[in-house]
Every structure is written in structure tokens, then in C-alpha cells.
A = this chain, B = another copy of it.
């Protein structure tokens, strides 16, 4: 079962995702009907449900791409961080935030987050939780790196700190996508201000 069937499968996956991404951007998540996605992808409604458990999973596939890109961009910062704890955090979190609206509108983020808490056991729900965890890990990795370079105290509880920083950023980001008029610059400033308290506690 290597040839035709597998090729068609991959192709249909791609067509569905492309059609959905287009329509989500154009009409919004709620506004995009499965029937329309199916038509544009040139498959039937039934087939879409053969590939994805529900409408949310389609969005999920798109979100996953976005977050993975962000994770990649973050690697550079972790391996070679700015020589100052505050700047290092700001740079890493800044990358997450600045990338965030590249492919996904605020409305798409709202839907994605909603689905991930509503259906935590669906494929997307689990994937989303996994992505959050990976982001947390990356922040932890930065802290470890800063400890190695001697910028952060060795006796700090790294795992707890990483989680704390991620949780705060994530919650601020959730509030950010909930308000259409909220600006990225303000979000970053607010997070920087909060992290200043932490930086004072952990910097050597």
C-alpha cells in the first residue's frame, strides 16, 4: 500500500488544509462551512471527516505548523542568548509573540485555544497541550543556558521558573487575542514589566 493510495491521501490532506486555511482567513472560522471547504478541496464532506475528527482538528493542523515555526525561531535565541537576563527573556518571548499573527488571525487563535480546552483529549487538544509543553521546555532551556553562562543563580528552581514565565506569557497572550484592539507592543511591554520582578529575583 505504497503507491497511488498514499499519494492521493497526502494530496487530499494538503488540499483540505489549503482550502480551510484560505476560507478561515477569508470568512473566519465560524464563517467557513465544511461544505464549502469540501467543495474547494474537491472532496466530499464525508471525506473530510475521514481525514479529521472534526472542524477543530482542521484548524489544529494549521496552528501546529505555526507553533512549530515559532519553536524553530526560538532555538537560535536559546543557543546564543543576549548577555543580560531581562533582554534574553524579552528576546525569546518577543519571537513567540511577533510570529504569532503571521499565519493565524486573532479569531483563529481564539477558536484554537477554545477547542484545546473544550476537547483536551481530541487529537488537536493533545497536540496543543504538547506544543505548550514544548514552549515551556524551551524557556527552561534558556534558563539553563543562562545559568551556564553565569547570568542566573545556580540555586534557582529552573522547572518551576520556566513554567511560571510561560504561564504568565500565555495568559497575557490569551487576553491579547481576546481583544481585537490590543497591540503587540503593549503586550510585550506588559510582559517585560512582569518579568522584571522575576529577573530581580534570579539574576546573579
How far is it, in angstroms, between the C-alpha of A171 and the C-alpha of B166 when the chains are bound? 9
Q: Which of chain B's residues has its CB closest to A174's CB?
A: B117
Judged by a CB distance under 8 angstroms, whether A73 is at the interface is: no
Judged by a CB distance under 8 angstroms, whether A172 is at the interface is: yes
Copies of this chain, complex-wide, total 2
Q: Are B196 and A157 in contact (CB under 8 A)?
A: yes
Chain A interface size, as a band, is 35 or more
How far is it, in angstroms, between the C-alpha of A164 and the C-alpha of B202 when the chains are bound? 16
How far is it, in angstroms, between the C-alpha of A6 and the C-alpha of B163 when the chains are bound? 50
Say which one of A15-23, A36-44, A88-96, A108-116 lies at the interface with B: A108-116
Q: Tell me the minimal C-beta distance from A194 to chain B in angstroms.
A: 5
Judged by a CB distance under 8 angstroms, whether A187 is at the interface is: no
Known: A113-B117, A156-B197. 10 other contacts (CB 8 A): A110-B118, A110-B120, A111-B118, A117-B174, A117-B178, A166-B171, A170-B171, A197-B201, A197-B202, A200-B201
